[in-house]
Amino acid sequence: MKHIIVGTAGHIDHGKTTLIKALTGRETDTLKEEKERGISINLGFTFFDLPSGRRAGIIDVPGHEKFIKNMLAGISSVDLVLLVIAADEGIMPQTREHFEILQLLNVKKGIIVLTKADMVDQEWLEMIKEDVKNEFKNTFLENAPLHAVSSKTGAGIQELIAEIDKATEQVEAKDTEGHFRLTVDRVFSVSGFGTVITGTIISGRINEGETVQIYPSNIVTKVRGIQVHESSVKFAEAGQRCAINLANVKVDEITRGDVISKENLMEPSMIVDASLYYLKNAEKPLENRQRVRLYHGTSEILCRVILLDKEELNPGESGYVQLRLEAPLTAQRGDRFVIRSYSPMDTIGGGVIIEPVSKKAKRFDSGYIEEIKIKESGKSENIIENTVYNLSESFPEVSSILKSLGKNEEAIEDKLNELVKDRKVVRLTSLDKVIYVHNKYLKEKAEKLEEILIKYHKDNPLKAGMPKEEVKNKIFGKSIKQKTYDEILNIFAERNNIRINGTFIANFNFEINYTKEQLRIKDKIAAAFDEGKYMPPKYEDLLAGEKDKKNFKMVYDSLLDTGVLVKASEDCIILKEYYEASKSMVIEFIKENQSITAAQARDLFNTSRKYAVALLEHFDSIKLTKRLEDNRVLY
């Protein structure tokens, strides 16, 4: 079922509240001060049933210039606006400001209502109609229905109701399947129930008993009850005004402007990127870093406007901006906003949020501006791809990608699969969750790794490569999970970027090249270990007689790194061929005799007990064997 929100707009004392009472039979001014002064100060809410059977919620906004922020809080969620103009006064300053706000918020449908028609003659009424038509030429109200009514006598009210009913048929249906989001416009306490908030559901639906989160405070709470148009319901959905009773949260923990949504779905931010239109009637250009008031949903936040692609923004111009806020904003991509000057408070522009969670950007950065244009284009595959690239450093899951997208994205996993198929995005599955990184990100990391390894190989020409852990810290930092790191290294190896040598990493084409002197040392060391077999020579004995001790150590270490020598323990180092042979001997011996002792291993290897124990303990550590009292069995 389509849900409709009708809102009023117009100058103070032009009869908006009286018109609503004539339409619905209900009074929306509830404050004592409103009744005493005869003007609306806060938002008024009610509803009425249309002839078609549709029930429309109504938001009555204040017309006084002092209460524009309240008007903005209400008008941001309307589907159809009644622009109210008193027939005896015509178009006034707040009429124009309200209308500018409607355009900035991209309100698409409206009806112009001339109130107090009983107070003027027909000739005057026709003149006002002509003025109104001229005023709204080339705007969304150019061909809008125009109705003259008298709330006092009832003249024209039924015709207006029929017009509202007709207009609601053409209103676009809200996104009821998307993520639930509601902007809070009132919060109060009800005896026996506790905290209640009211607002218009922007998208999705909410069910009684569901867990929700309050943004930006991030308080998690539960929906105890829901009312729509004064009736208790089990659920409410996009396009409906509703009251929600929240469990275990205090009234002073929520404020107008807060957003209620699903848990961990949205992310408040102090910086947003946007496109901004600066009104033609602004008195002077908008300067970089100018302080303004931002109105989004039901919130009002002070911020500074950083002009990204222009030195200044002249009246009537549009530009890309970064809004740096003085309080966190919870928004989604595509949300509309309005800005007013800090002082005096005049409406000066508005636009669309392109990136709801941004970071400080440099002005006139062509790459950054191009990125904003991609996001602005609205092509979901491009936006998702760009989002994955920006998040790749944190190895995002689908939920993180959705949160960063700042909007509901249907079939996101199918779109990610297409990006994987097109080799733009890589899916990593080494953990118990699926994560995505952009191929460009991996190429950048591979290039950085190549640069580091080139330098490392130059400084360490006889090393088999750089230790894996050192590479990890230099390229990815300590936050990356080991399994993810290993999976990325395997991708680099498959792409012939690197070779993995045990615990070392080398550039793919790197080879150790020994000098003539180093080859002599290498052969000397290998011959000594070959002769010693399982009674290896000591390092000090090998070093004796060598003049270039640094060069000797480099060669010795390279034999260890490349696996020519295998270190079973600090004191037990043997040639690889004898190491592999010892493993085979132990396996065969245990298969024949069920177990092996240190003494038996000593005799098997023809060595001392010291080296036999060292080898057995090493085999325990690699889970080839395990110790049972004085015996070893196969693991």
In whole angstroms, what is the distance from residue 474 CA to residue 463 CA? 18
Q: Which two tokens stand for residue 289?
A: 């870093």
CA of residue 535 relative to chain centroid, distance: 62
201 and 281 in a single domain? The answer is no
64 pLDDT band, cuts 50/70/90, is very low
Task: Give me the torsion for CA of 398, 403, 407, 410, rounded to 10°.
Answer: 10
CA angle, corner 466, sides to 464 and 470, nearest 5? 155
| CATH number assigned to the domain comprising residue 273 | 2.40.30.10
107 and 122 in a single domain? The answer is yes
CA-based nearest residue to 405, from 276, 559, 267: 267
| CATH number assigned to the domain comprising residue 148 | 3.40.50.300
Within a domain: residue 139?
yes
**pLDDT 10s digits, 284-334:** 999 999 999 999 988 999 999 999 999 999 999 999 999 999 999 999 888
Within a domain: residue 97?
yes
Q: What's the 3-state SS for 136-185? A: CCCCCCCCCCEEECCCCCCCCHHHHHHHHHHHHHCCCCCCCCCCCEEEEE
CA angle, corner 71, sides to 66 and 72, nearest 5? 110
**pLDDT 10s digits, 152-194:** 999 999 999 999 999 888 887 777 767 899 999 889 998 888 9
Task: Single out the residue in 169, 198, 225 at which a domain terminates.
Answer: 169
Within a domain: residue 374?
no
For the chain, the average pLDDT equals 88
Within a domain: residue 309?
yes
Per-residue pLDDT at 407: 59
**pLDDT 10s digits, 509-554:** 898 888 899 999 999 999 999 999 999 999 998 998 888 898 899 8
Within a domain: residue 175?
no
More confident residue, 48 or 251: 251
Taken in order 163, 6, 408, 422, the sign of the CA dihedral is positive
**pLDDT 10s digits, 286-296:** 999 999 999 99
Q: What is the DSSP letter of 396?
A: -
Percent share of the chain, pLDDT over 70: 93
Per-residue pLDDT at 408: 60
**pLDDT 10s digits, 24-47:** 877 654 434 434 434 333 457 788
Task: Single out the residue in 513, 533, 548 at which a domain terminates.
Answer: 513
Task: Single out the residue in 369, 403, 432 at which a domain terminates.
Answer: 369
Per-residue pLDDT at 37: 39
Give SS3 for 527. helix
478 and 611 in a single domain? The answer is no
Q: What is the DSSP letter of 356?
A: S
307 and 385 in a single domain? The answer is no
335 and 365 in a single domain? The answer is yes
CA-based nearest residue to 548, from 516, 517, 512, 513: 517
508 and 524 in a single domain? The answer is no
Within a domain: residue 26?
yes
Number of other residues whose CB lies within 10 A of the CB of residue 41: 15
| CATH number assigned to the domain comprising residue 400 | 1.10.10.10
Q: Which two tokens stand for residue 596?
A: 């092996």
Residues in the chain: 635
576 and 536 in a single domain? The answer is yes
CA-based nearest residue to 178, from 15, 23, 409: 409
Task: Tell me if 384 sits within 8 A of 409, measured CB to CB.
Answer: yes
Within a domain: residue 214?
yes
432 and 474 in a single domain? The answer is yes
85 and 155 in a single domain? The answer is yes
20 and 164 in a single domain? The answer is yes
470 pLDDT band, cuts 50/70/90, is very high
Give SS3 for 521. helix
**pLDDT 10s digits, 210-243:** 999 999 999 999 999 999 888 899 999 888 889 9
Task: Tell me if 107 sits within 8 A of 136, measured CB to CB.
Answer: no
Burial (0-12, 13-18, 19+ Cβ within 10 Å), 423: exposed
499 and 383 in a single domain? The answer is yes
Q: Which two tokens stand for residue 457?
A: 């190989």
Per-residue pLDDT at 418: 87
Domain count, the chain: 5
More confident residue, 87 or 178: 87
Within a domain: residue 176?
no
How large is the average pLDDT for residues 577-600?
Answer: 95
| pTM, 2 dp | 0.65
Reply yes or no: is the peptide bond before residue 93 cis, omega within 30 of 0: no
Give SS3 for 306. strand
Half-sphere exposure of 197 (CA within 13 A, CB side): 30
333 and 471 in a single domain? The answer is no
User: Residue 67 pLDDT > 70, yes or no?
Assistant: no
Provide the residue range defining the domain that includes 405. 379-513
